[in-house]
């Protein structure tokens, strides 16, 4: 591909095998447009499963460009070159490499734009969300069992289906609550407790990260101080004596300073968010949290407040992004690791935590306990007036 020109058509059998063997093992049903989407890099909303018939010519062109200085040297047929020429060739190679990377990025952006132009407004919004940082981390991570960075084959297929809103075989068409059992509904349905599970997993994960980073007095669900005569300018402020937030810790931003965190993982496909861009939805939910708790925390608790808001796909709000970067800095200092490795580790843990809870909420049981017994066993329990003797 990189050494021989004009061979794109020869890769057609390979592309047929990708479409008929490889991709059906990952996604049972996909359209030609989604095949183009799968060919994009993960950071552009794809799976990096390239179409060899489309990239062959581009790869050859980039290969020729990157090796141009070496080709020139070979054509000169010299047995030795002086140091000055050697340094000049090294600089040329570095420059050509930068140019090749720039050309690849431009080509990928053009391919992404071509795919986006064929999508409906709703599909385009969902596709743009996949292009944000954090939504594809679970796809590009090494499967390390010790850190929980693994999915079994069923979970992986379901995760791909959730990523692209593809149908999943074996699921009932109707939810236990009576509504259509589609992706938008299953991420919001309160039956089964999966919305709370998603929230609690992120809360507990963040509390563990704070402890790993060396923060003190880390507590989960701390109660706020009861009010006496305090008044607030915002009517939306929570004033109940039983009010509590999700996590409290000292030393996040400065030594001994107490910080209260409140979490929200919202469904970006829900009707209340569907008309907003992901960035606008994140800002909306952050402001709601601040209106509910910000004034009370600052005036009564005398500490700082950070709303931690993420979409179900893993896109972080500004406050959440700032928090996890600060945790990464503290973790890097404490463990003598680089900041880049620490922030990558944090993003990976968050990404896998979210995708696993999404998979569970997509397939999880939402009926009653009696329904489960009747469906999963052959036992018929008949209630009567008789007394059971054990």
Q: What pLDDT, in 10s, does the model give residues 256-290?
A: 899 999 999 999 999 999 899 999 999 999 999 99
> Does pLDDT of 171 surpass 90?
no
> In whole numbers, what is the pLDDT of the chain averaged over residues?
90
Asked which of 94-108, 319-333, 359-373 is least confident by mean pLDDT, the reply is 359-373
The angle formed by the CA atoms of residues 174, 178 and 184, to the nearest 5 degrees, is: 65
In the chain, what is the straight-line distance between the N-terminal and C-terminal CA atoms, in Å?
Answer: 75
| Secondary structure of residue 241 in the 3-state scheme | coil
Please give the average per-residue pLDDT across 176-186, as a whole number: 90
Question: For the chain, percent helix, then strand, then coil, each to nearest 5?
Answer: 55, 10, 35
Its sign, for the CA torsion 261, 247, 199, 226, is: negative
Contacts of 116 (CB under 8 A, 6+ apart): 124, 127, 128
Query: Are the CB atoms for 361 and 187 separated by under 8 Å?
Result: yes
Query: Are the CB atoms for 366 and 189 separated by under 8 Å?
Result: yes
What is the pTM for the complete model shown?
0.87
Percentage of the residues of the chain whose pLDDT score is greater than 90: 75
Per-residue pLDDT, 229: 86
Please give the average per-residue pLDDT across 95-101, as a whole number: 92
Query: CA 149 to CA 92: how far, in whole Å?
Result: 40
Higher-scoring residue by pLDDT: 11, 376:
11
Q: Is 15 exposed, middle or buried (0-12, 13-18, 19+ CB in 10 A)?
A: middle
Query: CA 136 to CA 117: how far, in whole Å?
Result: 21
The angle formed by the CA atoms of residues 116, 308 and 353, to the nearest 5 degrees, is: 70
Chain position carrying tokens 């306990």: 369
> Does pLDDT of 372 surpass 80?
no
pLDDT in tens, 318-342: 999 999 999 999 999 999 999 999 9
């Amino acid at each position: 591909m990189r050494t021989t020109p004009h061979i794109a058509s020869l890769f057609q059998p390979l592309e047929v095998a990708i479409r008929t063997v490889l991709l059906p093992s990952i996604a049972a049903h996909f359209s030609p447009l989604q095949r183009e989407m799968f060919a994009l890099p993960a950071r552009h909303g794809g799976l990096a499963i390239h179409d060899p018939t489309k990239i062959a010519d581009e790869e050859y062109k980039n290969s020729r460009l990157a090796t141009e200085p070496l080709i020139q040297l070979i054509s000169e047929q010299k047995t030795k070159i002086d140091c000055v020429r050697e340094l000049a060739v090294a600089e040329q190679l570095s420059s050509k490499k930068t140019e090749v990377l720039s050309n690849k990025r431009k080509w990928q952006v053009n391919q992404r734009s071509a795919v986006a132009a064929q999508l409906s407004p709703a599909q385009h919004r969902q596709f743009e969300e996949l292009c944000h940082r954090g939504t594809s981390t679970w796809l590009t991570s090494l499967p390390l069992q010790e850190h929980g960075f693994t999915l079994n084959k069923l979970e992986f297929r379901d995760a791909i289906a959730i990523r692209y809103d593809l149908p999943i075989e074996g699921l009932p068409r109707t939810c236990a609550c009576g509504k259509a059992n589609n992706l938008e509904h299953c991420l919001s349905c309160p039956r089964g407790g999966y919305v709370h599970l998603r929230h609690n997993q992120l809360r507990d994960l963040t509390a563990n990260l704070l402890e790993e980073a060396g923060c003190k007095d880390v507590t989960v669900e701390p109660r706020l101080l009861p009010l006496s005569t305090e008044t607030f300018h915002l009517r939306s402020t929570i004033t109940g004596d039983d009010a509590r937030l999700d996590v409290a810790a000292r030393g996040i931003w400065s030594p001994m300073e107490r910080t209260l965190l409140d979490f929200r993982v919202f469904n970006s496909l829900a009707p209340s968010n569907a008309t907003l861009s992901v960035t606008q939805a994140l800002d909306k939910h952050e402001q709601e949290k601040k209106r509910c708790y910000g004034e009370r925390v600052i005036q009564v608790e005398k500490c700082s407040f950070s709303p931690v808001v993420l979409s179900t796909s893993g896109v972080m709000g500004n406050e959440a992004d700032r928090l996890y970067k600060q945790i990464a800095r503290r973790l890097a200092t404490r463990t003598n690791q680089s900041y880049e490795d620490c922030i990558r580790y944090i993003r990976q843990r968050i990404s896998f935590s979210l995708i696993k809870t999404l998979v569970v909420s997509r397939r999880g049981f939402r009926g009653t306990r009696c329904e489960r017994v009747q469906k999963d066993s052959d036992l018929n329990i008949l209630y009567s007036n008789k007394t059971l003797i054990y």
